[in-house]
């Protein structure tokens, strides 16, 4: 009996053991119908698909429009209440610190873009094929674009090139001096401009003109006026760009990809979205957020009353500068001018009210995306347009070699388009006039704060601005902690 | 020990040699109702000589002829019986059910045990006490029934699920226990398929002895057995039915139109704006709650038949259940048809087949609930000054707030339906190798087909509403440009999905049981299990459904030109588990019990580096009432138990250990949305299961044979929590569709005490009283968070910011973090002379406490925020009382949770939104309130998350009270009916609470860290029912 029992036990034990051990392969399963990150880049199409993924992060640029304007003297945060997107209100009041959701998004999204670019560059030697150079050139353009955003906001940032890091590797990472980051940005843009053509039949892809214009801008941000002037001159001479005649038509959906377009961030209104993930949108979140709160009337659509232009900006314009009303919507004046003005209503948000709205990026009838249409505007973000190139070139010539004639030629091109009288001054006065011109031409487009900082005007222009502190935004404190706590916070924070 | 066994053997052998005179005794064994009992163990006392009764309850045993020879009859569920042979040769025995319930069968993993033998902490609930509550879902019915199990309702809508937490929250992620119905794995959603009337028993394994289920046991295990037939019994038919009406058990005290107008005028005036109401004499206005809540029906019909022959037992049944919702009526209906067949049959003397088959068809309609934009959220915030239907015949637009829409219009435009067809079952072959060994092989399967259909008509809720799908009140569709100046209409749409899920589980195990020399019980279990779970789904959305009508709501009916806008999607997954396990138990005279088990699991959730886990547990018990020195007469049974062991949790997404290209890489080229590829979740090849180590010490006592007392103390520490904490942005995980890697980090500790008291009088008496009470106290604490992370943010408060709940070291999971208030600023001098600068403070504003003592209230950082509540109750209590006298029976079930807090988050912080009437007692110059701040439209810090928005969520609820009458047998015999019981019953009749919201019994609207955040939860209904049970 006992031996029988032992036999039963042994046989079963052996059988069960054989079942579980013999089936080891049973657990070796692969995910169905999805590609693995580590064995990708097997054919040319793979590179292009990954490149599309790297372009995707450009769509976070609506934050540049917000922060670049709200931080400056151009606009206030607005919104439903002071606790609605609190980070923007803190930036508006120049009381922002290391805890700021929007700044953290800038940090996160740009590094996500860099990582997607690095993923391609890390695997650039896997295979060879025709057209690979162009893909790599566009990739490096994008990496430069993302790094430029980071240095503009945060100064020194860790420079990661052609590799992806794991969680543990980040712990030993240092902040790379701004100059080295700029050197890499220049190298990437020079590489891209050497390979890309002036035009690309696909609307939205980077071109030689885009790469050179950004390179010019990067030089200007470093006060490298000679390099900036020669680079931007090349764009002006060879790029074939020109200003379109009607300033009012610059920011409409129906008028994109024209002679003034140097580089647009492309958006589509064909996909809905949710507030939970603004970076997942294919539409531009800015116009809907800039829209008039609970607006019920013609021309415009209702929105969230963000990023409201200040009275000071409105008053800065000459009253015969048509760019004033093209850039700033005076809502009460607009309503009063309508035939059915008594029926038009709108609400004032608890986050502030100036009576003005950003008229360049604003939700309009006929430019409304799919639900939720506060989030899904098809209006592109004009990252660089030719007017910007002309004004940068003018500044570079004026401040560099002192070639004021050239500077006046460029700045007056911009002024004559809007029928403003030509400038004729020179030297420091012209410098200030070019800077002012940048504000009139580019207000509402997210450049103002960085221009003020770059040109040393920020402390005078911005209420609450503290010199030697607010030139840079603070690194998100949590990012310092997550990277092992070794990074110093930016001065003053 | 072996010496002792040997000695006994020798003595036994000698005695049989000396007194060789033997006699044969035969007889039949029956229960108190005269039904024969097979399988009763008959032993000649003091020897190893024994036998078992056959299928007809007959037995035959040769015993030593002696005046002192005694026979001992034992059978599970019956009191042991000892008889002196005294020269008889035929002894018929009537066995009586065990009152003390110590012999009650308790189902444990891969075997059964008795309450007497248990070494672990388990609780059992009988099917009867579940059935009696008339609660449509098993999980809701389990609330308050056993200690250590906390159940919160995630939604009171028909078919809504509950959160089941055994011994607290032990992880950041999935805290659901493993639920097994007849051995088949169910998830919490899937419990809708189970008809509570089909349940025979529920056993909850709470401590480390659940470790027999290894990598899935860390959150505890619930084992449900469905009803089986009894051998040798006539077919018994049972028909039961109940019908009830449900209504909202509570209305919020909202402002009526006049109060609203007065307060809003004051609010706008305080904000320096024009007052909105020139005339405030508006009367009561619209009571939106009256409009939204309805009286709804609930009914259930149940038919079953059970019985058995000598070799086959069966139980078959069918039921229909339907329940409308108190919000939306049939728009939130849940209906269930189910049919089940349980058959056990002896294919041969040694081979037995157990077959379980359950088919369910469910239909559920749902409305938006538990969040911003839900029907109840809109109901609470809608303006009492607006009519439901405006004079021009439209549903009113509630224009002043863009995200509050007319809830009646919202319900009308909502068409969400899901249909579930489910086939669940088990085929089990038990081979009796010999009297010691049983070899069991079984296949469990769970197949579900889930069809979802969502119809979104063109709808217009008023200007500027985010929910609009049309562009104007004429319901014109929006136009979409699909090419240069090519526009198409975007009309009504329908989303359809068909998904299938299949679990297959093959299990094989050998059970050994032998009693050596009457005193030494040895049991063993050795087995293996292979589990796969697969799912796949295909879905599509089609636009331009004709006539904007649900009648045409099918993808096939779409009229989208060229199929533009229509889109499709699909998903599929598979996961596998490969396990082996061994358990050994030894008992000496039922006095000393010891058990050890070990399980090894391989899970595809983890990569090759850490695929296998080993989970050991030891447990022991000492029945000290059996000791000679134990002479407390009132205590008839006393046992001390202890267990310690390790179990695991693998509830994370599949393939989290490797990086995939499942991120979102989409950009717009040539105005066309262009798909690319992008990195998804970052990889972590070293990912491993989280580990729970649990110590349990318990005592079971029985006083006067009828009073049972059980207490457990436990210490449950969970390590290496499976987490997806923030990582450095530099890794690049935060693009669209990107996620940080899942890592093992963080520890959680739960400590607690459980008490169960049961009392029952002799069930054969005319007056029968039984009652049980249970209590649980749990202290939950996060003991470690990942490096570099101060806390993990949870749910947010209000719209657009303010993180209100956290996972943070030193605090309970999901505790509330915000500002502490200290009354109201009563005067400008008070503000000016305060030691603490509170920026923007005005008279009538909340005064906050400066926690860090820097003299400033820091609204822009974390330094002045503190713990201001926790969603986890300090204590929960459950009480069941049953009284039966003659034909009448009365029962009541009470549940209480004490010490938890709730965040009042259903108030839209918007000037025009309606408010609860506590605002009438707001601060004004004439009413120096110390509680409620002034009202104003201008920006204040009163709306930041503070303890002003946290309420005590403690409550006591009479969950069920029922009065029944059973018609006496003598009356019924003529009509061949065995028993008839009629009853009336009420659920949720009384709730005592200070909580202002609809229902304090709230679970979580999304994830562990959203517990206790009330977005306007769909409350549980108050139900009045009448029912009848027939047996024949």
Q: What integer pLDDT is reported at residue A24 of this predicted model? A: 67
How do B592-603 and B805-808 pair as beta strands? unpaired
Q: Is B851 on the interface with A (CB under 8 A)?
A: no
Angle between helices A386-399 and A404-417 (to 10 degrees): 150
Q: Is A31 on the interface with B (CB under 8 A)?
A: yes
Q: Is B274 on the interface with A (CB under 8 A)?
A: no
Query: What are the pLDDT digits (tens) for A360-419?
Result: 999 998 787 776 778 889 999 999 999 999 999 999 999 999 999 999 999 999 999 999
What are the residues facing B904 on neighbouring strands?
A: B1014
Q: In a mutagenesis test of the A interface, which of B544, B668, B789 is the best target, namely the one with the most A β-carbons within 10 Å?
A: B668
Query: What are the pLDDT digits (tens) for A324-359?
Result: 999 999 999 999 999 999 889 898 888 899 999 999
Distances (CA, A) of A94 to A149, A449, A474, B939, B941: 20, 12, 11, 18, 18
Q: Match domain A41-195+465-486 to its CATH number in 3.40.109.10, 1.25.40.890, 3.40.50.150, 3.30.499.10.
A: 1.25.40.890
pLDDT at B15 > cutoff 90: no
B526/A57 CB distance under 8 A:
no
Contact list in A for residue B668 (CB cut-off 8 A) is 204, 266-268, 282
pLDDT at B19 > cutoff 50: no
Query: What are the pLDDT digits (tens) for B582-626?
Result: 999 999 988 999 999 999 999 999 988 889 999 999 999 999 998
Question: Rounded CA gap, B937 and B913, in Å?
Answer: 11
Q: What is the mean pLDDT of residues B677-700?
A: 91
pLDDT at B100 > cutoff 60: no
Report domain extents, chain B: 2-94
Q: What is the mean pLDDT of residues B765-787?
A: 91
Q: Find residues 852-871 of chain B whose CB sits inside 8 Å of chain A.
A: 860-862
The verdict on pTM exceeding 0.95 is no
Share of chain B above pLDDT 70, in %: 97
What are the residues facing B876 on neighbouring strands?
A: B776, B897
Count residue pairs from A and B with Cβ separation < 8 A: 304
Q: Find residues 547-576 of chain B whose CB sits inside 8 Å of chain A.
A: 565, 572-574, 576
Q: What integer pLDDT is reported at residue A17 of this predicted model? A: 66
Superfamily of domain B2-94: Carboxypeptidase-like, regulatory domain (2.60.40.1120)
Q: Is A263 on the interface with B (CB under 8 A)?
A: no
Q: For residue A216, which of A64, A391, A59 has the smallest C-alpha distance?
A: A391
Contact list in B for residue A57 (CB cut-off 8 A) is 735-736
- Residues A230, A233, A238, A239: is their CA dihedral positive or negative? positive
Q: What integer pLDDT is reported at residue B530 of this predicted model? A: 93
Q: What integer pLDDT is reported at residue A3 of this predicted model? A: 65
Residues of chain A with pLDDT under 50: none
Q: Find residues 361-420 of chain A whose CB sits inside 8 Å of chain B.
A: 368, 370-372, 374, 378
Contact list in B for residue A170 (CB cut-off 8 A) is 727-728, 730-731
Q: What integer pLDDT is reported at residue B2 of this predicted model? A: 46
Query: What are the pLDDT digits (tens) for B159-195?
Result: 888 888 999 888 877 888 999 998 899 887 788 888 8
What's the pLDDT band for B761 if we cut at 50, 70, 90? Answer: confident
Query: What are the pLDDT digits (tens) for A403-413?
Result: 999 999 999 99
Average per-residue pLDDT for chain B: 89
Please name the residues in contact with B79: beta carbons below 8 A apart, sequence gap of 6 or more.
Answer: B95, B96, B97, B98, B99, B100, B103
Query: What are the pLDDT digits (tens) for B838-893?
Result: 988 999 999 999 999 999 998 877 889 999 999 999 999 999 999 999 889 999 99
Residue A163 has, within 13 A of its CA and on its CB side, a CA count of: 7
Please name the residues in contact with B934: beta carbons below 8 A apart, sequence gap of 6 or more.
Answer: B270, B842, B843, B844, B845, B922, B923, B924, B942
Question: Rounded CA gap, B155 and B306, in Å?
Answer: 35
Could you report how far apart the first and last alpha carbons of chain A are, in Å? 82
pLDDT at B10 > cutoff 50: no
Q: Is A351 on the interface with B (CB under 8 A)?
A: yes
Contact list in A for residue B505 (CB cut-off 8 A) is none
What's the pLDDT band for B511 if we cut at 50, 70, 90? Answer: very high
A266/B490 CB distance under 8 A:
no
> For the purposes of burial, counting CB atoms within 10 Å of the CB of A202, is it exposed (0-12), middle (13-18) or buried (19 or more)?
exposed
Q: Is B9 on the interface with A (CB under 8 A)?
A: no
Q: Is B490 on the interface with A (CB under 8 A)?
A: yes
Q: Dump the DSSP string for B886-902.
A: TTEEEEEEEEEEES-EE
Tokens of B291: 């409009």
Q: Which residue of A has its CA nearest to B728?
A: A482
A115/B468 CB distance under 8 A:
no
Q: What integer pLDDT is reported at residue B370 of this predicted model? A: 82
What's the pLDDT band for B272 if we cut at 50, 70, 90? Answer: confident
B765 within 8 A of B778, measured Cβ to Cβ: no
Q: Where in chain A is the domain with CATH 1.25.40.890?
A: 41-195+465-486
Question: Rounded CA gap, A280 and A470, in Å?
Answer: 30
B667/A58 CB distance under 8 A:
yes
Contact list in A for residue B667 (CB cut-off 8 A) is 52-53, 55-56, 58-59, 204, 266
Q: What integer pLDDT is reported at residue B593 of this predicted model? A: 94
Contact list in B for residue A29 (CB cut-off 8 A) is 574, 576, 604
Contact list in A for residue B744 (CB cut-off 8 A) is none
Contact list in A for residue B669 (CB cut-off 8 A) is 52, 202-205, 266
Looking at residue A423, the DSSP 8-state letter turns out to be P
> For the purposes of burial, counting CB atoms within 10 Å of the CB of A237, is it exposed (0-12), middle (13-18) or buried (19 or more)?
exposed
pLDDT at B414 > cutoff 90: yes
Contact list in B for residue A479 (CB cut-off 8 A) is 728-730
B144 within 8 A of B772, measured Cβ to Cβ: no
Contact list in B for residue A478 (CB cut-off 8 A) is 726, 789-790
Q: What is the mean pLDDT of residues B439-466?
A: 92
pLDDT at B7 > cutoff 60: no
Q: What integer pLDDT is reported at residue B76 of this predicted model? A: 67
What's the pLDDT band for B12 if we cut at 50, 70, 90? Answer: very low
Tokens of A345: 């209503």
Q: B611 in helix, strand or coil?
A: coil
B158 within 8 A of B785, measured Cβ to Cβ: no
Q: Find residues 270-309 of chain A whose CB sits inside 8 Å of chain B.
A: 270-271, 277, 279-280, 282, 293-296, 302
């Amino acid at each position: 009996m006992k031996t029988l029992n032992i036999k039963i036990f042994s046989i079963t034990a052996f059988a069960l053991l054989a079942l579980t051990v013999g089936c080891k392969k049973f657990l070796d399963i692969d995910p169905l119908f999805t590609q693995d990150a580590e064995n990708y880049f097997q054919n040319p199409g793979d590179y292009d698909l990954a490149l599309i993924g790297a372009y995707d992060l450009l769509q976070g640029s609506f934050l540049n429009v917000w922060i670049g304007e709200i931080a400056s003297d151009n606009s206030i945060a607005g919104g439903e209440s002071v606790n609605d997107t609190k980070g923007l209100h803190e930036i508006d009041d120049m009381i922002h610190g290391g805890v700021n959701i929007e700044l953290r998004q800038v940090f996160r999204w740009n590094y996500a873009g860099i990582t997607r670019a690095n993923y391609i560059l890390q695997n650039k030697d896997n295979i060879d094929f025709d057209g690979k150079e162009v893909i790599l050139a566009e990739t490096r353009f994008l990496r430069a674009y993302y790094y430029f955003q980071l240095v503009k906001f945060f100064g020194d940032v860790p420079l990661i090139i052609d590799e992806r890091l794991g969680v543990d590797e980040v712990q030993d990472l240092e902040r790379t001096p701004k100059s080295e980051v700029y050197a890499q940005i220049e190298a990437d843009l020079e590489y891209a401009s050497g390979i890309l053509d002036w035009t690309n039949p696909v609307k939205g892809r980077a071109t030689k003109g885009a790469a050179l214009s950004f390179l010019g801008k990067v030089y200007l941000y470093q006060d490298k006026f000679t390099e900036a002037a020669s680079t931007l001159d090349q764009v002006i001479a060879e790029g074939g760009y020109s200003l379109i005649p009607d300033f009012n038509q610059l920011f409409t959906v129906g008028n994109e990809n024209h002679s003034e377009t140097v580089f647009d961030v492309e958006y589509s209104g064909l996909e809905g979205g949710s507030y939970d993930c603004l970076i997942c949108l294919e539409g531009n979140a800015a116009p809907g957020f800039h829209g008039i709160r609970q607006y019920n009337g013609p021309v415009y659509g209702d929105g969230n009353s963000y990023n409201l232009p200040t009275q000071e900006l409105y008053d800065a314009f000459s009253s015969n500068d048509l760019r004033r009303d093209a850039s700033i919507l005076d809502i009460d004046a607009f309503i009063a001018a309508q035939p059915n003005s008594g029926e038009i209503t709108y609400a004032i948000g608890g986050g502030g009210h100036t009576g003005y709205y950003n008229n360049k990026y604003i939700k309009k009838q006929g430019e409304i995306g799919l639900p939720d249409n506060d989030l899904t505007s098809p209006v592109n973000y004009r990252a660089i347009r030719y007017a910007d190139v002309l004004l940068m070139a003018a500044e570079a010539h004026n401040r560099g070699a002192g070639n004021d004639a050239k500077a006046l030629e460029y700045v007056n091109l911009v002024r004559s388009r809007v029928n403003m009288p030509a400038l004729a001054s020179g030297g420091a006065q012209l410098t200030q006039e070019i800077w002012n011109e940048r504000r009139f031409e580019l207000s509402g487009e997210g450049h103002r704060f960085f221009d003020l900082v770059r040109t040393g005007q920020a402390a005078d222009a911005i209420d609450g601005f503290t010199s030697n502190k607010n030139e840079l935004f603070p690194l998100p404190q949590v990012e310092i902690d997550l990277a092992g706590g070794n990074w110093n916070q930016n001065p003053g924070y | 020990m072996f010496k002792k066994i040997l000695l006994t053997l020798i003595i036994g052998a000698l005695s049989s040699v000396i007194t060789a005179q033997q006699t044969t005794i035969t007889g039949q064994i029956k229960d108190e109702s005269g039904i024969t009992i097979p399988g009763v163990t008959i032993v000649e006392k003091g020897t190893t000589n024994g036998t078992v009764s056959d299928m007809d309850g007959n037995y035959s045993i040769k015993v030593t002829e002696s005046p002192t020879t005694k026979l001992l009859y034992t059978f599970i569920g019956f009191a042991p019986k000892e008889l002196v042979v005294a020269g008889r040769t035929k002894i018929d025995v009537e066995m009586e059910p065990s009152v003390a319930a110590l012999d009650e069968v308790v189902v444990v993993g891969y075997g059964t045990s008795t309450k007497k033998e248990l070494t672990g902490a388990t609780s059992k609930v009988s099917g009867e006490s579940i059935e009696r509550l008339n609660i449509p879902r098993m999980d809701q019915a389990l609330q308050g029934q056993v200690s250590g199990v906390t159940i919160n309702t995630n939604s009171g809508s028909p078919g809504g699920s509950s959160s089941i937490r055994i011994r607290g929250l032990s992880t950041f992620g999935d805290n659901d226990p493993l639920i097994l119905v007849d051995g088949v794995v169910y998830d919490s959603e899937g419990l809708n398929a189970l008809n509570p009337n089909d349940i025979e028993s529920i056993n909850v394994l709470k401590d480390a002895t659940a470790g027999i289920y290894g990598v899935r046991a860390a959150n505890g295990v619930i084992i449900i057995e469905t009803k089986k037939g009894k051998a040798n019994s006539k077919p018994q038919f049972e028909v039961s039915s109940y019908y009830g009406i449900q209504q909202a058990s509570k209305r919020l005290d909202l402002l009526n139109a006049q109060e609203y107008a007065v307060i809003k005028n004051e609010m706008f005036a305080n904000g320096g704006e024009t007052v909105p109401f020139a005339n405030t004499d508006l009367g009561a206005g619209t009571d939106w709650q009256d409009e939204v809540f309805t009286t709804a029906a609930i009914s259930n019909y149940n038919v079953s038949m059970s019985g058995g022959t000598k070799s086959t037992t069966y139980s078959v049944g069918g039921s229909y259940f339907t329940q409308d919702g108190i919000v939306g009526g049939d728009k939130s209906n849940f209906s269930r048809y189910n049919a089940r067949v349980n058959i056990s049959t002896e294919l041969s003397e040694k081979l037995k087949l157990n077959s379980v088959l359950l088919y369910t068809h469910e239909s559920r309609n749902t409305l938006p609930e538990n969040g911003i934009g839900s029907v109840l959220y809109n109901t609470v915030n809608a303006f009492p000054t607006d009519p439901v239907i405006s004079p021009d015949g439209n549903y009113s637009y509630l224009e002043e707030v863009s995200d509050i829409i007319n809830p009646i219009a919202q319900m009308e435009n909502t068409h969400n339906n899901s249909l579930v067809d489910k086939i669940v079952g088990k085929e089990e072959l038990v081979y009796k190798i010999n009297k010691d060994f049983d070899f069991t092989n079984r296949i469990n399967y769970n197949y579900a087909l889930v069809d979802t259909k969502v119809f979104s008509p063109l709808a217009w809720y008023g200007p500027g509403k985010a929910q609009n799908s049309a562009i104007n009140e004429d319901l014109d569709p929006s136009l979409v440009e699909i090419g240069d100046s090519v526009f198409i209409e975007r009309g009504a749409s329908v989303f359809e999905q068909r998904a299938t899920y299949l679990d297959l589980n093959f299990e094989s195990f050998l059970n050994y049981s032998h009693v050596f020399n009457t005193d030494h019980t040895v049991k063993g279990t050795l087995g293996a299990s292979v589990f796969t779970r697969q799912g796949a789904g295909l879905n599509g959305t089609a636009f331009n459904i004709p006539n904007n009508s649900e009648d045409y709501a099918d993808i096939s009916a779409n009229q989208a030109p060229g199929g533009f806008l229509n889109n499709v999607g699909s998903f599929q997954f598979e996961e596998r588990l490969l396990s082996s396990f061994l358990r050994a138990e030894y008992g000496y005279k039922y006095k000393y019990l010891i058990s050890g088990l070990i399980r090894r699991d391989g899970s595809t959730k983890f990569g090759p580096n850490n695929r296998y886990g080993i989970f050991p547990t030891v447990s022991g018990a000492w029945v000290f009432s059996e000791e000679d020195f134990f002479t407390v007469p009132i205590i008839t049974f006393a046992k001390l138990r202890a267990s310690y062991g390790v179990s695991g949790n693998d509830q994370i997404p599949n393939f989290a250990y490797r990086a995939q290209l499942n991120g979102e890489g989409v950009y717009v080229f040539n105005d066309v949305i262009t798909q690319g590829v992008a990195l998804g979740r970052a990889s972590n090849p070293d990912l491993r299961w989280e580990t729970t180590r649990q110590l349990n010490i318990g005592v079971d006592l029985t006083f006067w044979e009828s009073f049972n007392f059980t207490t457990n103390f436990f210490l449950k520490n969970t390590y290496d929590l499976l987490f997806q904490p923030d990582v450095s942005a530099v890794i690049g995980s935060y693009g669209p569709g990107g996620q940080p890697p899942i890592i093992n980090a963080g520890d959680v500790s739960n400590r607690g005490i459980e008490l169960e008291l049961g009392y029952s009088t002799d069930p054969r008496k005319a007056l029968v009283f039984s009652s049980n009470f249970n209590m649980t106290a749990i202290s939950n604490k996060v003991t470690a968070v990942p490096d570099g992370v101060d806390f993990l943010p949870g749910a947010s408060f209000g719209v657009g910011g303010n993180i209100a709940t956290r996972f943070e070291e030193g605090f309970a999971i999901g505790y509330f973090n915000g500002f502490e208030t200290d009354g109201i600023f009563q005067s400008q001098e008070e503000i000016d002379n305060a030691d603490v600068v509170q920026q923007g403070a005005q008279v009538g504003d909340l005064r906050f406490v400066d926690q860090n003592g820097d003299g400033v209230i820091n609204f822009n950082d974390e330094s002045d925020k503190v713990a201001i509540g926790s969603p986890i109750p300090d204590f929960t209590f459950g009480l069941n009382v049953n009284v039966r006298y003659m034909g009448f029976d009365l029962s009541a079930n009470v549940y209480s949770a004490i010490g938890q807090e709730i965040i009042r988050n259903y108030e839209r912080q918007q000037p025009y939104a309606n408010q609860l009437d506590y605002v009438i007692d707001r601060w004004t110059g004439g009413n120096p309130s110390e509680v409620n701040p002034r009202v104003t439209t201008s920006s204040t810090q009163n709306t930041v998350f503070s303890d002003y928005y946290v309420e005590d969520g403690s409550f006591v609820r009479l969950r069920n009270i029922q009065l029944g009458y059973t018609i006496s047998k003598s009356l019924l015999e003529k009509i061949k009916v065995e028993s008839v019981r009629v009853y009336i019953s009420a659920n949720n009749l009384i709730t005592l609470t200070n909580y202002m919201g609809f229902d304090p019994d709230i679970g979580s609207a999304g994830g562990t860290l959203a517990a206790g955040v009330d977005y306007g939860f769909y409350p549980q209904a108050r139900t009045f029912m009448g029912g009848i049970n027939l047996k024949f």
